[in-house]
Amino acid sequence: MSAASGLTGFKTLVRREILRFLRRPRNTFVPPFVTNVLYFSVFGVILGDRVGGIEIAGDAVPYILFILPGLVVLGAISNAFENASFSIFHGRWNDYIEEPLTSPMSYSRMVVAYIAAGATRGLLVGTLIAVIGAFFTTVGVAHPIYLVAFALVITLLFSSFGVVGGLWADDWDNLTMMNQFIVRPLVFFGGVFYAVRDLPSPYYELSLLNPMVYMVNGVRYGFLGVSEVDPAWSLAVLSALTAAILAIDVVLFKRGYGLTE
């Protein structure tokens, strides 16, 4: 097996997976567009005027700006997870995942290809949500390096989780269950619509066990320059977790978990 042929297979698989969701904009981009227009209209504009500002680290942040980073995170990670899990499971379901499995690609390149495509979809949807928010309020970027770093890490992380989900799922209901009953609730309880520090004990301490708190606050720090947790520490932990899940994905592929009957 030559390195050149393996690289060609990697590029081909990434291209196929990206084109798959780009060719279906009604499934990929229209739902988050409609959903987030409603979020910004109801929570940001209608309720935002009544809520006023949210105080973080001594700064009062307008409510619509406060929720924007969380909505970006919600859309980005949900779509990254959904793309990777759907790609893996659909390939298993329709028996065409054998094509990349029998190609000259290494397992690591194969896994990275699925993860990269899922992360790309997450980044595109996250960007779309930020653009939608710009029509409702003034959106600035206080720390662009942190924003890009967190965006990359969280989409890669949940795309990696999506690979695990696609290998584990036995039917389509499992995919829906994981996204709707695991991913989304964690985000909603991760400080998207409220400041975590306003929670009484022990709910505040319990919230700190939710990884979404660190993701939402990391992206919030990138946009607004304020955070309830240390962004550098959060980024380091999330990066290590991403590397660990990616390694698990490669091991699962090597062992054929979920890939062979």
Output the DSSP codes for 184-248. Answer: HHHHHTTTSSS-GGGSPTTHHHHHTT-HHHHHHHHHHHHHHS--SS-HHHHHHHHHHHHHHHHHH
Nearest Cα residue to 138 out of 196, 68, 73: 68
Q: Please indicate, yes or no, if residue 165 is contained in any of the structural domains.
A: yes
Nearest Cα residue to 253 out of 95, 92, 93: 92
pTM over 0.85: yes
Is 3's pLDDT higher than 70?
no
Give the CA radius of gyration of the chain. 19
Q: Tell me which of 72 and 259 has the higher pLDDT.
A: 72
Report d(CA 218, CA 223) in Å as an integer: 9
Report whether the peptide linkage leading into residue 31 is cis, meaning its omega lies within 30 degrees of zero: no
Q: Please indicate, yes or no, if residue 163 is contained in any of the structural domains.
A: yes
Helix axes 144-168, 107-134, angle to 10 degrees: 130
Q: Tell me which of 178 and 214 has the higher pLDDT.
A: 214
pLDDT digits (tens, 9 = 90+) for 189-231: 888 888 888 888 888 888 888 889 999 999 999 999 988 889 9
Q: Which amino acid is at 194?
A: Y
Q: Please indicate, yes or no, if residue 261 is contained in any of the structural domains.
A: no
Q: Please indicate, yes or no, if residue 30 is contained in any of the structural domains.
A: yes
Q: Please indicate, yes or no, if residue 213 is contained in any of the structural domains.
A: yes
Q: Which two tokens stand for residue 103?
A: 């190609």
pLDDT digits (tens, 9 = 90+) for 30-56: 999 999 999 888 877 777 667 777 877
Q: Residue 6's pLDDT is what?
A: 66
Is 175's pLDDT higher than 80?
no
Q: Tell me which of 197 and 180 has the higher pLDDT.
A: 197
Q: Please indicate, yes or no, if residue 217 is contained in any of the structural domains.
A: yes
Three-state DSSP state, 8: helix
Task: Provide the β-strand partners of residue 56.
Answer: 59
Q: Please indicate, yes or no, if residue 82 is contained in any of the structural domains.
A: yes
Q: Residue 72's pLDDT is what?
A: 95
Q: Please indicate, yes or no, if residue 14 is contained in any of the structural domains.
A: yes
Nearest Cα residue to 146 out of 72, 81, 221: 221
Is 5's pLDDT higher than 60?
no
Give the chain's length.
261
With a pLDDT cut of 90, the percent of the chain lying above it is 50
Q: Which structural domain range is residue 142 located in? A: 3-255
**CA 234 to chain CA centroid, nearest Å:** 16
Nearest Cα residue to 243 out of 148, 156, 150: 156
Give the number of domains in the chain.
1
Three-state DSSP state, 17: helix
